[in-house]
Structure 1
Amino acid sequence: MKAQVIRGHGATEDITYEENWPDPQPGPTEVVLKVKACTLNYHDLFTLKGMPGIKLNMPLIMGIDLAGEVESFGPEVTGWKAGDRVMIDPINRKTFKLTGEGADGGLAEKVKVDVTQLIPLPNDVSFEAAAALPVAYGTAYRMMVTHGKIAAGEKVFILGASGGVGTCCVQLAKLAGAHVIVAASSEEKLEQLRAIGADEGVNYQSTNFMEEMHRRFGKPRFFGNGGVDVVVNFTGGDTWVPSLRCARNGGRILTCGATAGYDPKEDLRYIWTFELNIVGSNGWLPEDLHSLLDLTRRGKLKPAVGHRYSLQKTREAFNALEDRKVFGKVVITP
């Protein structure tokens, strides 16, 4: 089969296109899928470059999120047949290994997963839409709905809104009836975010977003008004402390990652003075993915796909992701 393979941590030029990579063979409870769509996440960049304390077996095929068709399966697999359309839960909950990291992933024509990872894919949800859901949208759903409890009438400010997680956060907040403010790096991205539900936008390249939020919603006061109800910040880095200063007294800060840096300078004064609630969220559960599929099938949620590449152009897709030139999800098809 054709596959994109890494033999060690490095840069995009270290991703190798192989035209005769061995086909995966299913074990007793495993299923081999024909990959129809695979989407990239920033986690794939972390896998490529290497993460402190995490050792991976090489060579490795990356690609966490995918959807496809059942091709073959092991003797203990029941209830599935060749041609069945499926999305996968990227976490093997027997081994707790992540597809595309602890096991080969979807940047190939075929992939092997455990049968427990299969989720039936309705005919009215495309492979592309399904492949956009698990990591980014599953993470956003757990953060915004399960832990964040976004409610109607709340003012929700979302940083990093133009990526995969962010575009889902925008739609979920809007579905909840919130007033949605987004931050993005260009007017083009802000227009795209308004098209999927954002009410207001801040261009953080040309404007100090904290000062702009104070201008629009007031400076937070311990006694009095000012600030927004919820700030969503999964970028970290230099945005962390300014984002704390956008939340109202008693407001919530939701986080599920740190794409711009996990060890930002902190200022605890804002947390205790304004009695802020820092709410962390990690990953997703299978039921979250079923809920997202249902929302997508009913047209309530539309996964934002900004760029499409062939499997052979995987390096270009990684470069676009790393340079933050993308809106929504990046889809790769074999």
Structure 2
Amino acid sequence: MRAFLTEAFDSPAKLQNIQMPIPSKGEVRIKIKACALNFADILMQKGTYQDTPELPFVGGLEISGVVDDLGPETDRPTIGARVAVFGGQGGFAEYGCFDANRMVVIPDNMSFEEAAAFQVAYGTSHVALNYRAKMQPGETLLVLGAAGGVGLTAIEVGKLMGARVIACARGAEKLEIARKAGADQLIDSDTQDLREEVLALGGADVVYDPIGGDLWKAAFRACKPDARLIPIGFAGGEVPQIPANHVMVKNLTILGVYWGAYLKFKPEVVTDSLRDLFDWYSQGKLKPHISHRFPLEDTAEALATLKARKSTGKVVVTMD
């Protein structure tokens, strides 16, 4: 089978022909149809991600496809089932073996591309806003990086939970995408002062931040007393330091969210969340935004597009 293989850190991965995997006990093999990209894929290639596999490895965390084979003592999901899985690796290939307990059967009206793009982005936003921040109707949600893969989902989920959403992104084009996703107010981080604009709108009850850096600092200063801040990533490249004295004085709460970790120590948080999200999708309340699609042989270009922030929503690699 063809696979996009990483053999050395911080050097280009290559499309190669490798042996097709055989599922072990508790695993199923998937004929992969699509794999959505995440910034974690870029960090894995550099060897700096917290869950980077040992070399050599096939990247690609977020996968959809059709069950093709079952391992010993494994009876679900059945062969032929349409599924999605957060595999942690192995998605940039034509076939892959994954833990059967992580499989989610996808709705009949959901495409494989949408299914691949759905889990991490929507799951992160729903777990962050519902399970962690316990956001309430009428609260003000500030979303940074609002036109990105997780940012757009935070807008959609926030609106469904009854929040007033302030979206912050770079440039009119990205802000228009955030508006179409449901944002109530828009802030251009290239031309406007984030702190001043948010304070003029009454301040933020919840901050959803996949960016970090200076935007985090400005959002931190634009919080209402008793606000909750959710760092979920640092796409801007800088991990900000948190001034504990300001956290204390304003009674702020910092809520870290790493969605994938729940699969290891509290998987019901993820499974319960995905059940709600797939139900919302089936009702037509959610619509994954995919800005770029690439064939497997162009995976390097797909990763470069994500790294350069040329995408909005999700970037997906397809196998057919």
Scaled by the length of structure 2, what TM-score is found?
Answer: 0.91
1:69 corresponding residue in structure 2: 66
Aligned 8 A contact 2:36 2:63 in 1: yes
Is it true that 1:292 corresponds to 2:290 in the alignment?
no
Q: Which has the larger share of helix?
A: 2
Q: 1:21 to 1:234 in 2, by over 3 A?
A: same
Aligned 8 A contact 2:204 2:224 in 1: yes
Gaps of 5+ in 1: 91-98, 218-225
Q: 1:55 to 1:329 in 2, by over 3 A?
A: closer
Aligned 8 A contact 2:44 2:52 in 1: no
1:310 corresponding residue in structure 2: 295
Is it true that 1:39 corresponds to 2:36 in the alignment?
yes
Is it true that 1:184 corresponds to 2:179 in the alignment?
no
Give me the whole-angstrom Cα distance separating, in 2, the residues matched to 1:197 and 1:71: 39
Give me the whole-angstrom Cα distance separating, in 1, the residues matched to 2:302 and 2:172: 22
Q: 1:114 to 1:266 in 2, by over 3 A?
A: closer
1:275 corresponding residue in structure 2: 251
* Equivalent position SS for 2:44: helix
1:324 corresponding residue in structure 2: 309
Aligned 8 A contact 1:89 1:286 in 2: no
- Please give the per-residue CA displacement for 1:290-324, whole angstroms capped at 9, x wherever unaligned: 22222112111111211111111111110110011
Out of 166-175 and 290-299, give the one that drifted further. 290-299
Between structure 1 and structure 2, the one with the greater Rg is 1
Letter in 1 for 2:210: F
Give me the whole-angstrom Cα distance separating, in 2, the residues matched to 1:40 and 1:54: 16
Aligned 8 A contact 1:307 1:331 in 2: yes
Aligned 8 A contact 2:25 2:74 in 1: yes
1:150 corresponding residue in structure 2: 135
Letter in 1 for 2:54: N
Give me the whole-angstrom Cα distance separating, in 1, the residues matched to 2:164 and 2:118: 23
Q: 1:174 aligns with which of 145, 148, 159?
A: 159
Q: 1:108 aligns with which of 86, 89, 93?
A: 93
Shift of 1:59: 1.3
Out of 236-245 and 262-271, give the one that drifted further. 262-271
Q: 1:265 to 1:120 in 2, by over 3 A?
A: closer
Give me the whole-angstrom Cα distance separating, in 1, the residues matched to 2:248 and 2:228: 13
Aligned 8 A contact 2:61 2:86 in 1: no
Q: Percent identity, aligned pairs only? A: 35
* Equivalent position SS for 1:67: strand
Task: Count the aligned residue pairs.
Answer: 310
Letter in 2 for 1:112: C
* Equivalent position SS for 1:132: helix
Give me the whole-angstrom Cα distance separating, in 1, the residues matched to 2:23 and 2:15: 23
Give me the whole-angstrom Cα distance separating, in 2, the residues matched to 1:52 and 1:301: 29
1:132 corresponding residue in structure 2: 117
Out of 198-207 and 132-141, give the one that drifted further. 132-141
Letter in 2 for 1:64: L
Task: Please give the residue correspondences for 1:221-240 in structure 2 after superposition, counting only pairs within 5 Å.
Answer: 226-240=202-216
* Equivalent position SS for 2:301: helix
2:222 corresponding residue in structure 1: 246
- Please give the per-residue CA displacement for 1:34-80, whole angstroms capped at 9, x wherever unaligned: 11111000111111111177663111110000110011122312144
Shift of 1:261: 4.1
Shift of 1:273: 2.4
**RMSD of the TM alignment (CA)?**
1.8
Aligned 8 A contact 1:44 1:64 in 2: yes
